[in-house]
Structure formats: structure tokens, C-alpha cells
Amino acid sequence: MAASVVPVDPFDLVVVGATGDLARRKLIPALYHRLRDGQMPDSARIVGVAREDMDADGFRRMAGTALDEFAGSDAMDAALKHRFLSTIDYVPMDVSDASGWTRLGEALSDDEARLRAFYLSVAPRFFGMIAEGVHGAGLSRPNSRIVVEKPLGHDLASARALNGCFAGHFDEHQIYRIDHYLGKETVQNLMALRFANAFFEPLWNARYIDHVQITVAESVGVEGRGPYYDGVGAMRDMVQNHLLQLLCLIAMEPPARFEPDAVRDEKLKVLRALAPVTNAEDVVRGQYASSPGIASYAQDAAAATSHTESFVALKTEVANWRWSGVPFYLRTGKRLRARVSEVAIVFKAAPHAIFPSASGRSTQNVLAIRLQPDEGITMGMTIKEPGPGGMRLAPAVLDMTFAKTLGTADMRMPDAYERLVMDVIRGDQTLFMRGDEVEAAWEWVDPITRAWEERGDRPALYDPGSSGPDDALMLMHRDGRRWREISA
């Protein structure tokens, strides 16, 4: 099944922080792939901005190396790479220096109709300064866009301040707040699954669903991002954005249309209905210890006495009519057993057992939506064990791994950033967070992090390659439930 590609209009994309980790690993390869697939026109221009003093050729060499390293060797083609690099320019500047913005303006097209986007791939402390710089130098036009990365702020107050600063210079329809999870194929499939298939909806509520589990497990540690991560932790880095966005897509009411504000209004209602986590036992923090050959979090982050969590598990509820009494268990962490992200909808058991107990146990149906790796959907069922021997029940899994089902095993799945950057150019905000959504998420997170600080909680240590601290297992055991295995 080949994906159809609709080319976008010519654009100038300014990547502020173009020499950084995100730009090199994700943005530059994403743009290359869009050119390769015929979506990015040759006349589009990418203008890198950072302090490093080099000319455009120097930056093109850096971008070329980033492609070799991160774009996938199968995708590299010398002529195409040359074509892509020829779209790139570079302006060395410090964003705190007002004169830099005028120089940047000179590097941009003066065609008023041409679309301009400013991608802020820098630390959040620069966001306000950049919004002011762009505005002050008259670089923003009615059709300009500004793209900002998560996490947006550190808490509700700082998120409000940032939103206020953006609002001072841009209209909400010009602001694209990225949560790259929303650009993942399977995350978008969550919406297709729920809202393009009629048979789920009657079952999608507290009457039939026992609980929901959302897991985003990573096998890597904090890698080279220790200084950033240690000031943030798993709650702010992952739960406040990626996991809550997944929860929203599972729990939201069907929007009337697949349009930005219709979708975001429904997600906002979910965030506002989230029950506060007031019971200390309902949230577990962990930090990975060392094991032979593997450094501990404290070593990775070069922060010997750090209280920052690299793991969080928690229980919450969406306090509304549809979900009353259905716990949502969320779990994320680094250095866990495997890299796996999935949402599991665990249904209630059949109301009455008609088979004799000797025939085996009927299991609860589990609809598991696997985001990565091996994107797809499985349905855990109870069936009759095949063959003679009477009525014996056995668990079975209906497997709809997308690569198998859609015959896309050899097809490259586009990275989330490819979709999202093209959506920015197209002007489609459906997969981006609105300012009020971000604030509502912080409003729910803040009391949890504040309670940790007030109690002086230390995260429990867990072994690398495990499923996290034992307390996380207890979180579900207490309710007579268990987490699904973290396995690749």
C-alpha cells in the first residue's frame, strides 16, 4: 500500500539550534526524506541558526554527516543528498544579540507570499527571546509560523508565562507546539481505530472496560542528555506530554470533525477531567542503578546525589460519565527491559462463566495498540483449544501487525517529525498541542511534583534491564491487577 504524497508550497524554514542533537538526529533527516519522497519542493530553503561560527558550506558538511548517520543508509543517494544540501543556508548568531535578527532577515526570501516558519530547536529558556527577536526585526508575517518543542515550561506558571510571551507576538493559529508522539503513525491510528470503526464505540466505556495501561518503556539511559534531563525527570519529560496525550486520545469523546480545534477541545476536556493523584501510593518514582558494565543514572547524568526520577508509574482516573471507576495506569522509564510503547485496553471478564472450571480459565480480552516497535494491534481472546479432548479453553492473540497486514514490511515508516514538519508548512494544527491543553496538563502534574519536593522523596533504585521498582508492581497488585510484560 503506497502512501500518496501531496507536495507542499515553497517555504523558508529557519531552524534555530540547527547544530544541536534534535536538529541533527531528527529534523535534518526528516526534511531530507520529505524531499526524497517528492513532498518538499526544490525551491524550499532551510536556514540553520546557531552560535557556532561557520559558513554555509561548513553547515552543509555538518548536515551531510547528520544524514549519513541518521537518515538510514538505504535512503542515501549522492545526487539527492547534493540536491537537499543545496537548499540549506546558515546564519551564525547568538539569539540574545539583536543585530543577528537583521542578518537573518537578509538570508530569507523577501517574497511576501512565501511561507516562513521558525523552528525553535533550542533550550526553552530562549523561546521568549526568540519570539521577541523575530517580531522585533519584523521577520514575522501573517502567514509565518513558530514551532516550539516540549516540554513547554517546567510547571504551570512557567508554561503560562511562555504562552503569554508567544501570544504577545503571534496568533494562536501561528503557534505549533510539538509533541512528536502525535506524529507517530500508530498514534494517529488510535484515532482511526476509535473513530472510523463503529464496533468499538459501544464497548468504549466503564461498563465494559476494566482498566487501561499506557506504557512507554525505553531500554536506553539518558545518553548524552544528562544535564537537560536531570533538571526535568520522567514526569516532566514524558508523562506531562507524551503519556497524557496518549491518554487523551484513548479517553476523548468523538470530535464532530477531524479539525484542529474540534480535536483539541475534546482532549482538553479529558485533561480537565483527570482526577488529582492525592494518594502517595498511587505514584511511584524510580531511578536506574548500575549493573556490571552499565552506568547508573547518577553516573550517566553526572549528578551523584540527584533525586531526579528516570521512571514513573502512576494511577489516575478520568472523572467523567464514560470512564467513572476505570483506572488508567501510566508507566514510563529509561533503562528498562526493552523499548516498547503500547496502550492496552483491558476489558472486563465475561459476566457469567458457563464452562466447567476444569476446562481452563477464560481470560480478560485485551486490545493492545503497539506504537513501537512492530506497530500494530493485537486482541487477546479466549478460544477453544483446537482438537479433541473436550471443551478446553486457551488464550489466543489475534495479531494485526501493520507491516504484515498491510504488506509494508519493506516500507520505511516515516518518522513522526516528517509528518509534523510538513503539517506546519501545510498549516494543519490538528496534531499539535494548543496552549490551554499544555496548561491543563501542567495543572494536573504540578501537585504531584510539588508533593515530591515537600516530602523530600527519593526515587527508588531499580536494576537496568528490569521493569522498574517493585513498588510499581505493587501499584497494580494492590488493585488485583498486573502490568503487561515489557518485552520487545
Three-class DSSP labels, the chain = CCCCCCCCCCEEEEEECCCCHHHHHHHHHHHHHHHHCCCCCCCCEEEEEECCCCCHHHHHHHHHHHHHHHCCHHHCCHHHHHHHHCCEEEEECCCCCHHHHHHHHHHCCCCCCCEEEEEECCCHHHHHHHHHHHHHCCCCCCCCEEEEECCCCCCHHHHHHHHHHHHHHCCHHHEEEECHHHHCHHHHHHHHHHHCCCCCHHHCCCCCEEEEEEEEECCCCCHHHHHHHHCCHHHHHHHHHHHHHHHHHHHCCCCCCCCHHHHHHHHHHHHHHECCCCCHHHEEEEEECCECCECCHHHHCCCCCCCCCCEEEEEEEECCCCCCCCEEEEEEECCECCCEEEEEEEECCCCCCCCCHHHCCCCCCEEEEEEECCCEEEEEEEEECCCCCCCCEEEEEEEEEHHHHCCCCCCCCCCHHHHHHHHHHHCCCCCCECHHHHHHHHHHHHHHHHHHHHHCCCCEEECCCECCCHHHHHHHHCCCCCCCCCCC
By CB under 6 A, the count of residues binding ligand BG6 is: 3
Of 123 and 157, nearer to ligand NDP (C-beta) is 123
Of 220 and 262, nearer to ligand NDP (C-beta) is 220
Indicate which of ligand BG6, ligand NDP, none lies near residue 437 (CB less than 5 to 8 Å, by partner kind).
none
Check binding of 437 to ligand BG6 (CB under 6 A): no
Indicate which of ligand NDP, ligand BG6, none lies near residue 484 (CB less than 5 to 8 Å, by partner kind).
none
State the minimum distance, in angstroms, from the CB of residue 58 to ligand NDP.
12
Which region among 2-10, 11-19, 367-375, 423-431 touches ligand NDP (by CB under 6 A)?
A: 11-19
242 counts as catalytic: yes
For the chain, the maximum distance between any two Cα atoms, rounded to a whole number of angstroms, is: 83
Of 23 and 47, nearer to ligand BG6 (C-beta) is 23
Check binding of 375 to ligand BG6 (CB under 6 A): no
Beta strands 209-217; 327-333: pairing state: parallel
CB contact at 8 A, 42 and 85? no
458 vs 454: CA distance, rounded Å: 11
Indicate which of ligand NDP, ligand BG6, none lies near residue 50 (CB less than 5 to 8 Å, by partner kind).
ligand NDP
Check binding of 309 to ligand BG6 (CB under 6 A): no
Residue closest to 336 by CA, chosen among 452, 169, 193, 466: 466
Check binding of 13 to ligand NDP (CB under 6 A): no
Of 150 and 334, nearer to ligand NDP (C-beta) is 150
Of 296 and 341, nearer to ligand BG6 (C-beta) is 341
6 vs 23: CA distance, rounded Å: 24
Check binding of 96 to ligand NDP (CB under 6 A): yes
Indicate which of ligand NDP, ligand BG6, none lies near residue 52 (CB less than 5 to 8 Å, by partner kind).
ligand NDP
Indicate which of ligand BG6, ligand NDP, none lies near residue 218 (CB less than 5 to 8 Å, by partner kind).
ligand BG6
Subset of residues 24 to 53 that bind ligand NDP, contact rule: CB under 6 A:
50-52
State the minimum distance, in angstroms, from the CB of residue 426 to ligand NDP.
22
Indicate which of ligand NDP, ligand BG6, none lies near residue 273 (CB less than 5 to 8 Å, by partner kind).
none
Binding characters for ligand BG6, 334-363, by CB under 6 A (x = yes): -------x----------------------
Q: Which of 94, 201, 259, 485 binds ligand NDP (CB under 6 A)?
A: 94
**Active site residue: 154, 242, 307, 477, which one?**
242
Residue entry with cell 477531524? 258
Of 147 and 277, nearer to ligand NDP (C-beta) is 147
Q: Which of 85, 117, 122, 246 binds ligand NDP (CB under 6 A)?
A: 122
Q: Which of 89, 210, 230, 237 binds ligand BG6 (CB under 6 A)?
A: 237
Check binding of 19 to ligand NDP (CB under 6 A): yes
Of 151 and 380, nearer to ligand BG6 (C-beta) is 151
Beta strands 45-50; 88-92: pairing state: parallel
Of 18 and 445, nearer to ligand NDP (C-beta) is 18
Q: What nine digits make up the cell of 376? A: 500494530
Residue of minimal Cβ distance to ligand BG6: 237
Check binding of 218 to ligand BG6 (CB under 6 A): yes
Binding characters for ligand NDP, 130-169, by CB under 6 A (x = yes): -------------------xx-------------------
- DSSP bridge pairs for 82: none
Binding residues for ligand NDP, per CB under 6 A?
17-23, 50-52, 94-96, 121-124, 149-150
Residues labelled catalytic: 242
Binding residues for ligand BG6, per CB under 6 A?
218, 237, 341
